[in-house]
Amino acid sequence: MEQYDFDQVIPRKNTDCAKWDASAYLFGSNDVLPMWVADMDLPIAKPINEALRRRTEHEIYGYSLTEPKSVVEAIINRLDRLYNWKVKPEWVQLTPGVVPTLYTLIRSLTVPGDTVIHQDPVYYPFWSAIEYNGCQVANNPLQLVGDRYQVDFEDLEKQFRPKNRMGVLPSRVKAMILCNPHNPVGRVWTKEELTRMGELVLKKNAVMIADEIHCELLFKGYRHIPFASISSEFEQNSITCIAPSKTFNLAGLHASVVIIPNRELRENFKTTRKGFLPTCNIFGMVAMEAAYREGDIWLGQFLRYMQENLDFLVDYFTRKIPKIKVIQPEGTYLVWLDCRELGLNPSELEDFMNRKAKVGLDHGIAFGPSGAGFERINIACSKSVLEEGLQRIERAVNEL
């Protein structure tokens, strides 16, 4: 069996990579260690590289089919095998990224002035996807209870009765965007939580958009449940976005999937995407199929490595930087750090991490008001890089 060496450090500087090559611009200096955006500094699964190499031997890269049969089959088989979710081929469309898919979905479901709910702190493009389409965000902030984030169901119900900008006329809630597993707080929502959210969405005649891009990135003991798989009513009232890009580190190939079981919603999306949102490119399709069919050996080893990194990080903060509290993630490879005890306001905290500690993290405030005082660190890197990042933070905290 192929053994992957995740301890090796692969230099990424000068490869036009956002994580490393935009650091000077983003963080104000070249010697910041980038631990931000959700991509990995680790080697990918060999079968993916081999499939890409085989494809380049053909030498012609013309237009492709929009949903090649074997790619769709690989997606459907995987969802069946992992979750016993039976997806029909006609429900599946390929897209060149989950973010552009979300923008297009909101356009297809709303008219300007409508409202879309989400739960902050949350992946920041959710905010812009809603606002870009002229809609209002209704925010249902997640509640940190002890050291675990929870949904505030009472508030969620209230968010279904929004007023428009003038605070006078009611605005209709057309959709809710669910992030599962949740970026940045790392929750993997339970069946009970999903059911309560889904029932509210159904009752209020809105549609659930389930962004499940992180669904295969799970820590020990956690299980992902696709929202749509819970019941046929949820299936007909939801749209699911997945992609191999987070799990198998293929973000630069722009390959993602949208699953729309409801015929009307599906046709609506097809019409809206016309001329704007292409299918994914041929290399993305090839990589997706190889990942979904042959990526499991790599994935098993990668998830074990992530568990070790997480355990190392938790131990490090507990013993050496106790002022920063780790919100233990259940999924994703992103760890949400509670830095409120440092007593810094959001811009001071940003400055502290970038200029004093010299680590490039995602600053909590970017994820919404509830993110103030928090930072997000990406642990999908070699152990030595992770340790270096933690040492930098430790030194800076000791000097505060």
Ligand X SMILES: Cc1ncc(COP(=O)(O)O)c(C=O)c1O
Three-state SS sequence of 70-127: HHHHHHHHHHHHHHCCCCCHHHEEEECCHHHHHHHHHHHHCCCCCEEEECCCCCCHHH
Q: Work out how close the CB of 327 gets to ligand X at its nearest, in angstroms, rounded to a whole number.
A: 16
The helix/strand/coil state of 149 is strand
Which of the ranges 44-52, 61-69, 92-100, 354-362 carries the binding residues for ligand X, by CB under 6 A?
Answer: 92-100
Cis peptide before 261 (omega within 30 of 0): no
* Residue 98 binds ligand X (CB under 6 A): yes
Q: Tell me which residue has tokens 């997640």.
A: 142
Smaller CB separation from ligand X, 105 or 213: 213
* Residue 371 binds ligand X (CB under 6 A): no
Nearest to 328 by CA among 188, 139, 177: 188
Q: Work out how close the CB of 21 gets to ligand X at its nearest, in angstroms, rounded to a whole number.
A: 17
* Residue 213 binds ligand X (CB under 6 A): yes
* Residue 378 binds ligand X (CB under 6 A): no
150 vs 132: CA distance, rounded Å: 28
* Residue 243 binds ligand X (CB under 6 A): yes
Map residues 42-81 to x or -, x wherever contact with ligand X holds by CB under 6 A: ----------------------------------------
272 vs 266: CA distance, rounded Å: 10
Q: Work out how close the CB of 199 gets to ligand X at its nearest, in angstroms, rounded to a whole number.
A: 23
CA dihedral sign of residues 23, 28, 32, 34: negative
Q: Work out how close the CB of 245 gets to ligand X at its nearest, in angstroms, rounded to a whole number.
A: 5
8 Å CB contact between 109 and 115: no
* Residue 251 binds ligand X (CB under 6 A): yes
Nearest to 135 by CA among 224, 206, 30, 216: 206
* Residue 350 binds ligand X (CB under 6 A): no
Q: Work out how close the CB of 167 gets to ligand X at its nearest, in angstroms, rounded to a whole number.
A: 31
Smaller CB separation from ligand X, 247 or 382: 247
* Residue 179 binds ligand X (CB under 6 A): yes
Amino acid at site 348:
E
Strands in 325-327's sheet, in edge-to-edge order, are: 325-327, 334-338, 374-378, 362-363
* Residue 183 binds ligand X (CB under 6 A): yes
- CA-derived radius of gyration, the chain: 21
* Residue 32 binds ligand X (CB under 6 A): no
Q: Work out how close the CB of 109 gets to ligand X at its nearest, in angstroms, rounded to a whole number.
A: 17
Sites for ligand X among residues 102-141 (CB under 6 A):
123
Q: Which of 159, 247, 249, 256 binds ligand X (CB under 6 A)?
A: 256
Chain residues that interact with ligand X, rule: CB under 6 A: 38, 97-99, 123, 179, 183, 211, 213, 243, 245, 251, 256
